[in-house]
Every structure is written in structure tokens, then in C-alpha cells.
Structure 1
Amino acid sequence: MPLDGLFVHALAHEFNQKLAGGRITKVHQPYPNEIILVVRNNSQNYPVLLSAHPAYARAQVTKIPYQNPKTPTNFAMFLRRNLEGARLNQVEQVSNDRILHFAVNTHDELGDEQTLLLTLEMMGRHSNLFLVREKDQRILELIKHVPADQNRVRSLMPGATYTLPPAQNKENPFTSDLGSLAKILLDEDKANWAQAIQQHFEGFSTQSAKQLAQTLSQAADALKTTSEWLANFDMPAPTLYRFAQNKLSYSAFDWGQNADQKEQFASLGDLLDAYFAGQAEADRVNQQAASLVRLVKNELKKNTTKQKKLEQTLSDSENAESFKIKGDLLITYPHLVHKGMTSVDIENYYDDNKLLKIELDPRFDGLKNANRYFHKYRKLRLAKDYVLEQLEETKKEIDYFASIQTQLAVASPKDVEDIKIELIEQGYLREKVKVKTKGKQTRKPKHVMGQPDRFVATDGTMIEVGKNNLQNDRLSLKKQNRHKIWLHVQNLPGSHVLIDSDAPSEKTLEEAAQLAAYFSKARDSANVPVDYLPAGRLRKPNGAKPGYVIFEGQQTTYVTPDQNLISTLKKDAH
């Protein structure tokens, strides 16, 4: 189901159970449209993600660690001044809409108690997050400022009076006596029930309305069945549905949707982490790494074109001997050629005197045409060695950027900066230099490289996965790691994987191979070959690019990447 009013009802119920009465201890803004509140309640910290993202707007308790920017945004600083240390009284849903009020008890500048509402509107591209003073509904700040010429319905700027989005004038199914539902079932054909439910009741998405209509079509007592169906949103059993080609769907409880696999979670937050992890992370990476993606794409295109030209030149050079033969024949039989001729047939004494047709430049006689062929022959012979050298370098460039492209495809936001630093160090990207302020000496902070991702095998063995070339080098070439087992997908770009053991079990070896295959260009393939050997056998040639190693004496295993297994291994690592 999409995140509709029914699901938001379940979220509000979960928030009040976990967060009501807790204190806000920290506020972070890891991404432009998203805020993390850390709420401490009952001796436990709950990171709460409030997202006004146009495609992934949601509210949830999350277990995904987010990397915060070095410099907090103005909005984050404003929330810190007003919310840190305040008590979260309750979370209230507006009617049955996709709007949540987080009511916070705090003090104003004079020390008087006041209630602030942190209001999240989850409305697709119109999503927004407001901090509103409850007593006069004044907007103190909001995450997206919207000028009046872009929204004539209501003012979305600091200082304006907060008003709710236009009402839909529908019944709230959780507070209604459902009398209109009985009328719908009597007056409408079964085929129209879903549409009628959606038109009469607030908070129903198309999918939710269809599921209720399908349930009612098989029920003896429609009103009782509806009440029981709605009660599930107060006692959720969060369910994730998996379909072919890694497509996902979710619901607050298992309402019988046909799927290839079903997985239940302990909380709605865990469910949303699992559902949005791939999509939202990929979107964040795309936002952060848009310039890197363009650079890599352009470099691959440029080097692929260069490779084709070099291969054509090499193919021509392989025919260099034919130019020498033609020159020899023209030198031997110059009297057969006269100016104005475009071709001549000469017996080829190199090939049993068979007639060989030789193209001519009509401006020249036989000797000058012969010299032209000798010149081509010498040029191609000299070019061959250079072309072979250039071709090898070009193939290395293609392999390198193919590996960067794969790393960007599987990167999390924390990995993007490492990839950017690597491209700057390799000379492919210019570093932005800040203009020095007069009289002040600014020192650029040293980049702290991200840590490899950690996973835990079924038997408890740690497995590390490098997500970029800098991490790969550090992981694979450390002296203390030389006895540990190293893995890499065979002959394709991918992550370096290291098992924290010199004698892992067969099960652990298979799980590590799954990780190597998943974090590679072969992640959607079956029966993927993965090489493995002790890390001490790896060698890095002089002058090789980051992430490049050579080895011999490896063994090979074959696996098919399983996303469910990867999620389980990662979950166990937290």
C-alpha cells in the first residue's frame, strides 16, 4: 500500500506508544528535505526520521545510521534552539489525512511554557515540514519556503499563519458510524465498491480501497468486518511483499496480497527501513553524485570511442604487409603504369603469380605510386607499437571507470565523498577552491575516509565490504589482513570483500561470496563466479590505479545473489 491516511493512522499509534513523554535530545538534517530527531524515552533513544521528500515523504522510527553534514543547515540550527531538551507530548494525526502534528512542550524567550507543533505534511511534491506555535498558529520556520506566486491557496513562509491544506469533506472511517458504507454496499455494484469507498471515506488509497472491497465481497456482516479490518491499523503486523525483479510492496498488516515472498517486521519503522532502503538511498546518492555520474559516463563514452578508433588503426596496421607487396610490384614493373591510370593488374610473384589489382593515384607514375605504398607501410609499422600501448592504456581507463560506475550504483551516501576524493586525486575532477577572505587564512579540513560496510555471517564471523577503491585498497593491502580470506567477483567490477578469518566455514565462505556478487556489476545475475584466496597473495603493480590488484592461485565458487540474505547479514551487524 502507499503511505495513505490509514497507514499514517497506524504510524501515529506507534509513535504515541514509543515516543509520547520522551525528550528530544538531538536534531540533525542529513539531507535537504529530511530531519532526524533523537527522542529519548524509557531509557532508550529513538531516531525519528521526518521526510518531506517529494517522492519518499514519510515519518518513522529508523535504525539506518545517517551521516550528518559537517556544517548544520539554518533549519537544523533553528530546530535545535527550539526543540532540543523539550518534551514530546503526543503525536496527532489530522483527521485521517497524511498530516502529523508532533506536539512539543517547551519554553519561550521569557521562560513561559508553550506548545510547538512540528507538523509534517506528506503530500508528494507538496510535502513540507513546519514548526508552528500552537497558540496563534504562527509558522516559525519550515523546511521548504514557497513564494506566494507558487502557492495562492495559503502562505508557506515564516511569519505566516499556518492553515491546513484544503479539506476533502470526506468521512473519517475511524470516527464514523460507517452508516454510509452500508448505503454504498446496497446502492453500488460490487465492481464499483472500491471507487465508492475511496470517494466517501478519507485516507483510502486506491490499493487500500480495493483490498477492503475485496474483503467485504466475501463477508457475511459487512459493518463488523469493516470495523475489524480498520482495527488492524491500531494493532499492526507490518508486512513486506516481495515480487519478481526486486519489486516491493508493504502494508500495516497482512491483508492477503499475492506475492513471491512475505516478510513480517516488529515495527512499522523497521518495515519502512526495509522498503525504502534501496530506493531512497539510491535517490540520495543520485542527488549527491550527479556530477560524478556525468563525469564517469562521459569518460566511458570518450574512452570507448577511442578504443574503437585504435582497434581500427590496429586492424589497418595488420594489413601493412599488403602495402609493401604492392610497392614491390610497382617498383618491379614500373613500365605497366602511366599517369592517368586509376588501377593496374600485376602478376603477384609472392602468390603464385596470381593477378593482383592495385589501386593507383592517377596523378603519379609507377615509381611515385610505389613510394606512396611504401610510405603507408612504414607509417603503419611504426604506429603499431604505439597503438598497442595506447590500446592497453585505454582499456585500463575503461575498466577503471566501469568500476567507479559500479561503485556509484551500489554506493550509500557516505561512500560518495570517498569516490569524489579519489577522482580528484587521480586528476579527473577539479577541486573547488574557496576564495580566501582578506586577512584570514582558511585551512581545508582533512578528509576522513569512510569505513567499509560490515556484515555478520550466520556463525558470527565479521565480513567487510569495500564500497569504493580507497576502501578496497585499505581493506585488501593491510599487512594485518594478509592471512584473512579475500573475495572478488571474477572478471567484473565489484567490491573487495574480506572475511575476518583465515579458515572460514563453508557457510561463511558462501555468504561472503554472496556479498561479493551482490556488490558488483553481476548483482542481478545468476550463478556468478567469485574468486577467493588469502589476502597475502594480492599484489598491486607499480603505478596501478586505486582498487586494482593482481593475484594467482585463487579458487572459485559460484553463487546467485540473494537480497534477503544481504539484508539479514547487514541487520545482524547493527
Structure 2
Amino acid sequence: MPLDGLFTHAIVHEFNRLIVGGRITKVHQPYPNEIVLVVRNNGTNYPVLLSAHPTYARAQITHIPYENPQTAPNFVMFLRRYLEGSKLQKVEQIDNDRIINFYVNARDELGDIQEIRLTLEMMGRHSNLFLVRENDSRILELIKHVPADQNRVRSLIPGATYVLPPAQNLLNPFISDLSALAPMILDTPSEDWPKMIQSTYQGFSRDSAISLAEAIKQAGDPLNHAQEWLSHFESTQPTLFISDKGALSFSAFNWIQAHSSAQHFDTLGDLLDAYYIGKAERERVNQQAGSLVRVVKNELKKNKTKRKKLLATLNDAENADDLKVMGDLLITYPHLAQKGMTNVAIENYYDNNNLLTIPLDPKLNGLKNAERYFTKYRKLRTAVDFVNEQLTITDAEINYFDNIIAQLEVASPKDVEDIRLELTTGGYIRANKKNKQKPKVSKPDKFLSSDGTLIEVGKNNLQNERLSLKQADRRDIWLHVQKIPGSHVIIHDAKPSDETLIEAAKLAAYYSKARESANVPVDYLPAGKLRKPNGSKPGFVIFEGQQTLYVTPDASLISKLKTK
């Protein structure tokens, strides 16, 4: 189901159970349209994600790790002023709509207590997050400023009065009498029930309406069964459905879902983490890495073009001896080549006196044309060593940028800044002189194998280099896909079990360019045998004496072994 009003009702119920009464200890804005409130309640920290993303707007308790930007955005600085240290008084849903209010009591500049409301509207591209003063509904700040010419219905700027979006004038199923369903069910064909439900009651997505219609069809007492169906949104069984074709969907409880397998979770937050971890993370990476992808693709294109030219020069160099022969023949028989001629046929004494047609520059005589051919010959012979050297450098650059592309495909948002730092250090991106803070390299992803052994995976070259050459014990086992761009993987054990070794190899295959392949070769050996050549790119190592495993990447293994 989409995140509709019914699912929002369930989320608010979970918030009231887990975080209401807690204190907001930290406020972060790791991504442009998303805020994370860390709420401490009953000795536990709950990271609450409030997303106004145009595609993935939602509210949930999340355990997906995030990396904060080095410079805090203005909006989060404003929120910290009002929210940090405040107690979360209550969480409410507006009717059965996708709007949630979070209420706190905060102190103003004079020290007086004022009620502050954080309002999240989850409405596709119109999603927004507001900080509102409750006594006069004044908008103190909002995550997306919307000019008046883009929204004529209400004012979405700081200082304006907060007004709810236009009402749908539908019934709230949680407080309305469901008896209105009875005559409609009797008078309407069953195939039209979902549409009827959506046009009567607020907060029903198409999937939710179909599920309720199916439940009513199978019930002896439709009205009681409809009420029982609604009660599941307060007594939840968070369920992720996986269709026969691999498509994911979710619901607050295990309703009828044809041709799908079901996976259950302890909380709605855990369910949404499992559903969104691929989709939302990919979108975040695309947003952050757009400029990096353009830089890398331009560098790849430039180096591939250069490689073609170098190969063409080498091909010409292979024919350099032909130029020398033409020069020798012209200097032997200069009288045969006169000015104004475009070519001349001369007996080639290097080839049984067969006639050889030699192109000429009509502006030059025979001797000058001979000199021209000798000059070309010497240049090409001299260029061979230089061209071979340049070809080696160019091939290394192409491999390097292919590796960066592969890393961006599996990167999480926290990895993008490491890649940006690496490209900046390498001179491919201009450094931001205004930012004087020393950049930090993020930590590798951590996994626990089935027997509890720690496995770390570097997701970019800076992480790879630090993990493999600085942090790993020389007896730890290092893994990498064979001859394909990918992550460095370290098993923090000198003698891991076969099961751990295979799991680590599958992680190495998954976090590589071969993630969609089967039977992927993965090399492994003790980390102490790795060597870094002088002047090589970050993360580049050489080794010998490795052993090889063949494994097939397994996406389900990632969520199974990932540590929180």
C-alpha cells in the first residue's frame, strides 16, 4: 500500500506508544528535504525521520545510518533553537489525512514557555515540514519556501499564518459511523466497492480500498468486519510483501495479497526501513552525486577519446618503416619527382624492384619530399615510447573512473562525500575555498556473519585504503572480486569459518560491478600481503598468493548481516 491516511494513523499510534513523553535531544538534517529528531524515551534513543521528499515523503522511526553535512543548513539551526531539550507532548494526525502534528513546549527569547508545533504534510511533490507557533498559527520556518505565484491557495513562507490544505470533505472512518457502508454495499456491484469506499471515506489508497472490499466480501457481517479491519491499524502486524516478480509493497497488517510472500517486522519503522532502504537511498545518492556523475562521465569520455588517438598513432608508428622506404627511394631518384607532381611510381629495390607509388607534396621537389618522409619517420619512431607510456596512464585513468562509477552505483549518501573529497584531492573537482573544515572520511559498512564474526566493507577508495592498509590486522582476511571494480572487504579473523568466508565473498561480489552476475570469482588472502605502488591512486593495491572463491551475490544477505 502507499503511505496513505490509514497507514499514517498506524504510524501516529506507534509514535504515541514509543516516543511521546520523551525529550528531543538532537536535531539533524542529513538530506535536503529530511529531518531526523533523536527522541530519548525510557532510556532508549529513537531517531525519528520526518521526510518531505517529493517521492518518498514519510514519518517513521528509522535505524538506517546517516551522515550529517559538515555545515548545518539554516532550517536545522532554526529547529535546534526551538526543539532541542524540549519534551514531546503529543503526536496527532489531522483527521485521517497524511498530516501529522508534533507538539512541544519550548521557551522563547524571554524565557516564557510557548507551545510549538512541527507539522509534516506528506503529499507528494507538495510535501512540506513546518515549524508553527501554536497560539497564533504563525509559520516560524519551513523546509520548502514556496513563492506566491506557485501556490495561490495558501501562503507558504515564514511569517505567514499556517492554513491547512483544502479539505476533501470525506468521512473519517475512525470516528464516523460505518453504517453508511450498508446501503452502498447493497446497491453497488462488488467490483465498484473500492471506488465507492474511496469516494466516501478519507485516507484510503486504492490498495487499502481493495483490501477492505475483499474483507467485506468474505464476511458474514460486513459492518462488524469493516470495523475489525480498521482496528488492525492500531494493533499492527507490519508486513512486507514480495511479489512473484520481486516487487515490494507493505501494509500495517497481513491482509490478503495474491501471488506474494510475506515478511513480518516488529515495528512499522523497521518495515519502512526495509522497504525504502533501496529506493530512498538510491534517490538520495542521485541527488547528492549528480555533479560527480557528470564529472566522472566526462573524464571517462575524454580518456576514451584520448585512447583512440593514441592507438591510431601507434598504428601509424607500425607503418613507420614504409615512410623510411619512400624517403630512401626519393633521395635515390630525386629527379623522378618534380614540383607540381602529386605522386610518383619508383622501382622499389627493397621489394624485387616492384613499382611503388609514392604520394608527393606538389609544392616540393624530390629531395624536399624525401626530407618530409624522413621527418615523419623520426617523429613516429620517437613517439612510440611516449605513446606507450601515455596509453598506460590513460588505461589506468579509465579503470579508475570505471571503479568510481561502480562505487557510485552501490554508494550510500555518506559515501558520496568521500568520493567527492577524493575527486577534489585528485584535482578533478575544484575545491571549495570557503569550507575550511577538514573533511572526515566516513566509516566502512559493518556486518556480522552468521557466527558473529565482524566483516567490514569499504564503499569507496578512501574507505578501502584506510580499511585495508591502515586498520586491518595483517592476519585479517582481505577479499575483492577478481579483475572487476569493487569494494575491499575485511574479515576481522585470521582463520574464519567456511560459512563466514562465503558470506564475506558474497558481500564483495554484491558491492562490485558484478552484483547482477552469477558465479563471480572473489580473491582472498591475508591483508598483510597487500602492497600499494608508489604514486598509485587511492585504494589501489597489488598482491600475489591469493586463493579464489566463486559465489553468487545475494541481496537478502545485506539486510540479514548488516549491523545497526
Q: Is TM-score (shorter-chain normalized) higher than 0.5? A: yes
Deviation at 1:215, TM superposition (A): 4.3
Matched, 1:167 2:159: no
TM-superposed CA distance for 1:509, in Å, is: 0.9
- CA, structure 1 residues 342+147, in 2 after alignment: closer, same or farther (shift >3 Å)? closer
The aligned amino acid for 1:474 is R
Change in 2 beyond 3 A, CA 1:220/1:341: farther
Give the equivalent residue in structure 1 for 2:115. Answer: 115
Q: Which runs of 5+ in 2 are unaligned?
A: none
Equivalence for 1:202: 202
- 116-125 vs 335-344, which moves further: 335-344
Q: Is the 8 A contact 1:475 1:481 kept in 2?
A: no
SS for the counterpart of 2:541 is coil
Aligned counterparts, 1:15-164, within 5 A: 15-106=15-106, 114-164=114-164
The number of residue pairs the alignment matches comes to: 564
535, 542, 554: which one pairs with 2:534? 542
- Shift of residue 37, structure 1, vs aligned partner: 1.6
Distance 1:384 1:244 in 2: 58
Over 3 Å counting, the alpha-carbon distance change for 1:246 and 1:426 in structure 2 is farther
Of the three residues 474, 482, 487, the one matched with 1:490 is 482
Indicate whether 1:509 and 2:509 are aligned: no
Q: Distance in 2 between matches of 1:420 and 1:475?
A: 18
Structure 2: how far apart are the matches of 1:511 and 1:8? Answer: 37
- Residue 552 in structure 1 maps to residue 534 in structure 2: no
Mapped contact 1:6–1:204 kept (Cα < 8 A):
yes
Supply the distance in 1 between the matched residues of 2:243 and 2:325 (Cα, whole angstroms). 65
The code of the aligned residue for 1:46 comes to: Y
Match of 1:467 among 459, 467, 471: 459
1:48-99 Cα distance to aligned partner (Å, 9 max, x none)? 1111122221110111233233444443333333333333232211111100
Aligned partners of 2:327 and 2:370 also within 8 Å = yes
Q: Could you tell me which of 488, 508, 520 is aligned with 1:528?
A: 520
| Alpha-carbon separation, structure 2, partners of 1:24 and 1:480 | 37
Q: CA deviation at 1:264?
A: 1.6
- CA-to-partner distance for each residue in 1:209-238, whole Å, 9 max, x for gaps? 333344445555433443333222222222
Q: Out of 494-503 and 25-34, give the one that drifted further.
A: 25-34
CA separation of 1:137/1:387 partners in 2, compared to 1, >3 Å: closer, same or farther? same
Alignment pair present for 1:450 and 2:419: no
Contact 2:472 2:527 in 1 (8 A): no
- Shift of the 71–342 alpha-carbon distance from structure 1 to 2, 3 Å rule, reads closer
| 1:211-222 map, 5 Å | 211-222=211-222
More deviation, 284-293/387-396: 284-293
Deviation by residue 1:296-327 (Cα, 9 ceiling, x = unmatched) = 12111111111111111112222222333344
Report if the CA contact (8 A) 1:184-1:197 is conserved.
Answer: no
Deviation at 1:386, TM superposition (A): 1.2
How many Å separate the matches in 1 of 2:398 and 2:472?
32
Report the CA distance shift for 1:157/1:480 in structure 2 as closer, same or farther (over 3 A): closer
Q: Distance in 2 between matches of 1:478 and 1:106?
A: 47
Q: Quick check: 1:28–1:35 contact (8 Å CA) kept in 2?
A: yes
User: CA offsets, 1:226-262, max 9 Å, x none?
Assistant: 3333222222222223458864322222323346653
Range with greater deviation from structure 2 (72-81 or 355-364):
355-364
The 10-residue stretch of structure 1 (369-378 or 397-406) with the greater mean CA deviation from structure 2: 369-378
Name the CA distance, whole Å, in 1 between partners of 2:376 and 2:310. Answer: 17
CA distance in structure 2 between the aligned counterparts of 1:351 and 1:263, rounded to whole angstroms: 79
Quick one: structure 1 residues 322 and 219, their matched pair in 2 at CA, closer, same or farther if it must change by over 3 Å? farther
Q: Once the 2 structures are TM-superposed, how far is the Cα of residue 361 of structure 1 from its aligned partner?
A: 4.1
Does residue 476 (structure 1) correspond to residue 468 (structure 2)? The answer is yes
1:347, 1:200 → 2: CA distance? 98
Decide which moves more: 459-468 or 87-96: 87-96
Kindly tell me: are residues 345 and 201 of structure 1, through their superposed partners in 2, closer, same or farther at Cα, counting changes over 3 Å?
farther
Q: Distance in 1 between matches of 2:383 and 2:473?
A: 45
Q: Which moved more, 1:231-240 or 1:62-71?
A: 62-71
Task: Name the structure 2 match of 1:274.
Answer: 274
Distance 1:357 1:207 in 2: 79
Moved more, 445-454 or 537-546: 445-454
CA contact (8 A) 2:472 2:490 kept: no
1:437 match: none
- Aligned letter for 2:308? K
Residues 468-527 of structure 1, C-alpha deviations (whole Å, 9 max, x = no match) = 222211222238621111111111211111110111111111111111112112222222
Change (3 A) 1:327 1:284: same
Who is 1:315 aligned against?
315
SS across alignment from 2:518: coil
TM-superposed deviation, 1:269? 0.4
Cα distance change of structure 1 residues 355 and 109 upon mapping to structure 2, 3 Å threshold: closer
Bigger mean CA deviation after superposition, 129-138 or 334-343: 334-343
Distance 1:371 1:257, change over 3 A: farther
Q: Which moved more, 1:149-158 or 1:379-388?
A: 149-158
1:227 aligns with 2:241: no
Cα distance in 2 for residues equivalent to 1:16 and 1:144 = 27
SS in 1 for 2:29: strand
State the one-letter code of the partner of 1:81.
Answer: R
- Alignment check: 8 A CA contact 1:89 1:103 kept: yes
Q: Give the stretch that moved more between structures: 306-315 or 371-380.
A: 371-380
Q: CA deviation at 1:38?
A: 1.9
Q: Which amino acid aligns with 1:54?
A: P
SS in 2 for 1:289: helix
Q: Which residue is equivalent to 2:414?
A: 414
Residue 390 of structure 1 pairs with residue 390 of structure 2: yes
Residues in 1 aligned to 2:367 and 2:318: alpha-carbon distance in whole angstroms:
24
Shift of 1:5: 0.8
Residues 392-439 of structure 1: CA distance to partner in whole angstroms, max 9, x if unpaired? 1111111112222222222222223322222232222222223xxxxx
Measured after TM superposition, the shift of residue 23 of structure 1 is 2.4
| Equivalent residues of 1:241, 1:259 under 8 A apart | no
Aligned pairs (5 A) from 1:339-358: 341-343=341-343, 348=348, 350-351=350-351, 356-358=356-358
Larger deviation, residues 218-227 vs 56-65: 218-227
Cα-to-partner distance string for 1:132-163 (whole Å, 9 max, x where unaligned): 23333333332223233332211223333222
Quick one: structure 1 residues 243 and 426, their matched pair in 2 at CA, closer, same or farther if it must change by over 3 Å? farther
2:557 aligned partner, one-letter code: L
For 1:341 and 1:257, locate their aligned partners in 2 and report how far apart those are by CA, in whole Å.
Answer: 85
One-letter code aligned to 2:300: L
1:491 match: secondary structure: coil
- Give the counterpart letter for 2:373 in structure 1: Y
Measured at CA, do residues 447 and 349 of structure 1 come closer, stay the same or move farther in structure 2, by a change above 3 Å?
same
Question: What is aligned with 1:185?
Answer: 185
What is the Cα deviation at residue 462 of structure 1? 0.7
Matches of 2:321 and 2:71 in 1, distance apart? Answer: 66
Deviates further, 155-164 or 186-195:
186-195
- Shift of the 257–311 alpha-carbon distance from structure 1 to 2, 3 Å rule, reads farther
Deviations 1:351-398 (A, max 9, x none): 566555544445555555444433332222222111111111111111
